[in-house]
Amino acid sequence: MKIISGNVNGIRSACKKGFWGFIAKEEPDIFCLQEIKAKKEDLPKDPTELNGYYPVFNSAEKKGYSGVAVFTKEKPILVKTKLGLERFDKEGRYLELEYSDFILFNFYLPHGGRQKENLKYKLEAYKKIIEKVRKLKNKNVILIGDFNIAHEEIDLARPKENRNNIMFTAEERKQIDNLLDLGLVDSFRCFNTEQGHYTWWPYAFRAKERNLGWRIDYVFVSKKLAKKVSKANIYAEVNFSDHCPIGVEVEVVDNFKQEKLLAE
């Protein structure tokens, strides 16, 4: 089973920059999007009814802001769009899809604000997520998306300069520790423990060209699933957003339907 995820920084913009061609080439079983900045009805028909995928959207109440989506070859048994934190839920930052063998979470965590004005809100969201995952400790779970935190020094190009900056404060990094303490595994680090692999680059200062980036997009899997992860990718060469896509391949389910579904 192949899953791809990406913060598209506006799905309509990403479509104009080759996003759908990338998906057609990679042929994932599931792909998860963050920061779509649109509602389903705002998009052209073809992308929302992409042949072979069932689309699930959770758009923000505010127009042109935030939002997440999942396109899946197998229709989930159950879909949830609420984490239980009012502001977070109004901003469309959460999707939970239940399948017969696993539960998939697609997140777009808050940035926190350059002056840390939204750090409290961000930490509240993490607390809710950790509570949710703790209750599912005996389940196969996959957490995927834009977590807006670089966990370790190897996860950003300039850790010393950013020690006290948002996305790399001790309080934020502790939240990733807390997720790992629940038994989750950072799938990419199962295969690569080197610095220099990032998923987001600021638009300024030729950051992408100079690889002055941050790894803030993740696929976390429960320990049982981690044993079946065969590959984890960062598609750094793909340029439809200030983030690049990430992916994981998991030999996880015998009955994940491979026949194509048409969107409803």
Return d(Cα 264, Cα 261) in angstroms, integer: 9
d(CA 227, CA 251): 9
Closest to 169 measured CA to CA, from 251, 226, 98, 112: 112
Domains of the chain listed by start with CATH number: 2-250 (3.60.10.10)
The yes-or-no answer on residue 146 being catalytic is yes
pLDDT in tens, 197-233: 999 999 999 999 999 999 999 999 999 999 999 999 9
For the chain, how long is the longest CA-to-CA vector?
49
Tell me the pTM: 0.93
Q: In this model, does residue 259 exceed pLDDT 60?
A: no
Q: Which of 128, 134, 145 lies closest to 181, judged by CA?
A: 134
Residues 184, 220, 145, CA angle at the centre, nearest 5°?
145
| Token digits of residue 7 | 């913060």
> Annotated catalytic residue: which of 46, 101, 146, 242?
146
Burial of 257 (0-12, 13-18, 19+ CB in 10 A): middle
pLDDT of the residue at 41: 85
pLDDT tens readout for residues 156-206 = 999 999 999 999 999 999 999 999 999 999 999 999 999 999 999 999 999
How many CB atoms neighbour CB 86 within 10 A? 9
- DSSP assignment string, 90-136: HTT-EEEEE-SS-EEEEEE-----TTSTTHHHHHHHHHHHHHHHHTT
